[in-house]
Structure 1
Amino acid sequence: MTSRQFRWVRPVAFLLVASLVAGCGLPRVGPNKREIYAGSVQRQGDAFIVTVNDRVTRATAVQPALGFTDNFLNAGLLGSDTISPGDTLGLTIWENVDDGLLTGATANQTILEEVQVDGSGFIFVPYAGRIRAAGNTPEGVRRVITARLDQQTPDPQVEVRRVAGNGSTVSVTGAVSGQGVYPIEAPTRRLSAMIAAAGGIAIEPEVAQITVIRGNKRAKVWFQDLFKHPEFNIPLRGGDRILVEADTRSYTALGATGTQARVTFETQTLSALEGIAQVGGLTVSASDPTGVFVMRNEPAEIANQVLGRDDLVGAQRMVYVLDLTRPNGMFMARDFAIRDDDTIYVTEAPFAQWAKVISALTGTLGAVGSVSTASSTLSGDV
């Protein structure tokens, strides 16, 4: 066998590899621009593909509105001395006689350290009887006790002290430094002060959300809005539950980006440009800056506004196109808002696929060449 018998190896190998590359799909990060556009409604697909401009940016700039309802905003400030069921009172009673109703022969005062306000709002004081304390102040209760004892002992003197009990407390849970049950006292009658009493939030302020649950009603605000909007710093009520948690919104980044992952929001608002930057930007060696897509299910009212229609019903699949190479492309990406559950997809540049083809060809041909060389060497020895 001579080397002439192997002259056909290289051209046949090239044809075989070319056929293999043409017939088999090369690895890639996802669909290309042509395939995405093929799924548009205009081409019998099920998604509306829209190029982002200023009008589209304004129509889609919708963010979740957080705030308190009127039930929370219109609640008056709870008096720091108002007694509630479950509170504990401390009483001291002085009598102007040596042997009084409550005092012994050698003392003229009686101290009742803990008098519990029952569930109906009443307390019991010996010789004064059952007295309604809930909704009253210590001064009001003092006058009632004094008036009743005055009928039985001369010139009684009464002191009533309020000690916060479980009837005027709130629970603070979630991402705070000190979870627990805290009394509503003069310094902690408002929401921000109560959070401070619990040690403050233990997460980034930009993503912290505060939920207040009062009975069967609940409302949520951004932590930072407590200070931007003073009306959100609402008065508290006994039994309120305060939950501090991080924003749960997220988006998915796929394609030719630095990282392909599901990413949580790091700020209250997030632009497409910030979303791309948050995952490491575009892949320099593979991305196509003309093919940046944002995919979402858009509510019908927004979809109709974007498309200039009024007949769409229900959520619509929308694909928004950003071309970063245009003169205003970066500005459009900076102004276009990303929303919860969005998908940012960046297509590969066409040359990236060619590079893969060439790599496949040269790599395979290199292997074939090695085999051919080895065969030629062996044939020369025969």
Structure 2
Amino acid sequence: MVMKNIVLLALCSGLAGCATLPSSGPTGKQIKNTAIAPQDGEPIQLVQIHAIADIPIVAVNAAPLAKLPDRAVTPTDMVGPGDILDINIYEAGVALFASGASSVEQSAANVGVQVQKLPPTRIDDLGNISVPYAGTLHVAGLTTGEVESTIRNGLRRLSQNPQVLVTLNQAITNSIIIGGEVSRPGRLVLQTNRESLSDVIALAGGYRGDSKDLMVRIMRGSASVDVRVNDLVENPALDVRIHPGDRLVLVDDPRTYSILGASGKVEQVPFRRSSVSLTEAIATAGGASANFGDPAAIFLFRYVRNAQGKEVPMVYHLNMMQTGSYFIAQKFIMQDKDVLYFGNAAANQPGKLVQLISQLFSPILTVTSAVSVIQNSN
């Protein structure tokens, strides 16, 4: 009799300490109610997926590229600060740059064409170069042909019809910087100034790693946009033209989705391929828990952009107790940062109560058995 009282007292104490039964999350009904009439904030749109036509169409968005300022195509031989020029000056008759001419007679006797090759000339930060006899010349923004004319005009009064040849020794103005997950990071000279994003990645030796996990960040001035490598294949509009001065970085940024609620497991899952369907995501999660999950309450939480371009929360509901839902889920494509939630089954609450009572009884029954064994031994 004393032992029975102890058992009842322990049971009552255990139940009294449990204000609510343990739960893996809200039920499907609770999700719907709190979305339509939340306690805080505005209502969240909940979409019931009954047919393939209800599946949201998610196209690769090219709108962010509009943030990159567009620039006119510049000549490939345009020069600017940092460029290094090779300058050759050709003179006929009396040469201004003739070496070894110590008298008028020697100069007059030398009636052939002479060439003077100047040391490699760097354009300074102000866009200027210095040429003997011609002085300081501003050449930034000019083509090599225009630089030739500028030098020739500076020497015209000092030399008889000088001819000038200017070539680029090192090009800085007409180049970009590319880094990150490419085979040959560094400075890349644009040969045509019409190279696209995929072109410069190829010219840098191609990307390293898995294309589905790579994201390209394009920086132009103070603006920057992100483009996924895989999206370049699916949407050619993203393969934008690269301008001189752009900076590109390829970053390993795997796409993921999260699994929550009453499923076989709760975790963050990386995309195994460039495209993952809702069916595959449910299978990866192990489906709804046989003990606590509700197959009729499968929800997907996602941020989408409205007509004004603003991100708004959206909830999609799929009832996997209906045969057609298995076909619909095959066409429903997961997106980066999606949250897949398995609703808790309200009908399983009595089962949880039984489990709770069993957990409370187990140690007491063990003690009771031990006491009985001791009494019998005595």
Quick one: percent identity of the two aligned structures? Answer: 26
Q: Does 1:66 align with 2:62?
A: yes
CA gap 1:236/1:127 in 2 versus in 1, 3 angstroms: farther
Runs (5+) with no aligned partner, structure 2: 102-112
Correspondence 1:185-264 to 2 at 5 A: 185-186=191-192, 189-227=195-233, 232-246=238-252, 250-263=256-269
SS of the residue 2:282 aligns to: helix
Distance of 1:65 and 1:278 partners within structure 2: 27
Task: After TM superposition, give the deviation of residue 161 of structure 1 in Å.
Answer: 1.4
Give the corresponding residue for 2:76: 80
Match of 1:54 among 51, 56, 66: 51
CA gap 1:184/1:262 in 2 versus in 1, 3 angstroms: same
Give the corresponding residue for 2:108: none
Match of 1:36 among 28, 31, 37: 31
Give the corresponding residue for 1:326: 322
SS of the residue 1:31 aligns to: coil
Cα deviation per residue 1:47-72 (whole Å; 9 max; x = unaligned)? 555422237734x4345613533976
CA gap 1:272/1:18 in 2 versus in 1, 3 angstroms: farther
Distance of 2:132 and 2:186 partners within structure 1: 35
Match of 1:104 among 78, 99, 113: 99
Task: After TM superposition, give the deviation of residue 170 of structure 1 in Å.
Answer: 2.0
Give the corresponding residue for 1:335: 331
Distance of 1:246 and 1:156 partners within structure 2: 55
CA gap 1:256/1:77 in 2 versus in 1, 3 angstroms: same
Task: After TM superposition, give the deviation of residue 208 of structure 1 in Å.
Answer: 2.9
Cα deviation per residue 1:19-75 (whole Å; 9 max; x = unaligned)? 9569834443222335435535379996555422237734x43456135339766x4
- Return the TM-score normalized by structure 2: 0.73
Q: Does 1:166 align with 2:172?
A: yes
The answer to which of 180-189 and 193-202 deviates more is 180-189
| Cα RMSD for the two superposed structures | 4.4
Whether the 8 Å CA contact 1:209–1:222 is kept in 2: the answer is: yes
Distance of 1:44 and 1:56 partners within structure 2: 32
Distance of 2:254 and 2:62 partners within structure 1: 14
Length, aligned pairs only? 362
Cα deviation per residue 1:271-309 (whole Å; 9 max; x = unaligned)? 43344345555556654322212235666769xxxxxxx
Match of 1:127 among 130, 133, 136: 133
Whether the 8 Å CA contact 2:52–2:331 is kept in 1: the answer is: no
Match of 1:184 among 176, 186, 190: 190
SS of the residue 2:82 aligns to: coil
Cα deviation per residue 1:109-143 (whole Å; 9 max; x = unaligned)? 32223112244544332234444533433334335
Q: Does 1:291 align with 2:287?
A: no
Q: Which amino acid aligns with 1:183?
A: V
Q: Which amino acid aligns with 2:88?
A: T
Distance of 2:267 and 2:153 partners within structure 1: 73
Give the corresponding residue for 1:345: 341
Distance of 1:44 and 1:154 partners within structure 2: 89
